[in-house]
Amino acid sequence: MIEILALGGCYMEFKEVLAEHFLTFSRDPLPHTQIEQALLQIGGGGNEGMKFKKDIIAAGGWSHTGVVSFGKYPDEACKAFNNVRAALEKTEDPKELMKILTEG
């Protein structure tokens, strides 16, 4: 898949997130990192963007607090990020993303 970080009319596509990504160091941004960056941007940046990112990832299936690293539960993080990834392929609208993730 093509990685698209620009907003505005194009739906975002990211490579599939794999559990081992959360245990890997790479010079190139991994898909979950790109998704987090996109969520920060969609959420408006700053504190609002951070809260939006946290809420969307939680809605995607991440049930742990912000102090728990994704590497501690890589399978759960993988599932949550792939749920978010699928939603981002449908819309970039913040309310629609939340609706897709919470209502299915």
pLDDT digit string, tens, across residues 48-88: 999 999 999 999 999 998 889 999 999 999 999 999 999 99
Average pLDDT, the chain: 90
Residue in 4, 22, 27 with CA at minimum distance from that of residue 85: 4
Residue in 36, 28, 34 with CA at minimum distance from that of residue 15: 34
Please tell me the pTM assigned to this model: 0.88
Distance of alpha carbon 72 from the chain centroid: 17
CA distance 3 to 62: 23
The answer to whether 77 touches 19, Cβ cutoff 8 Å, is: yes
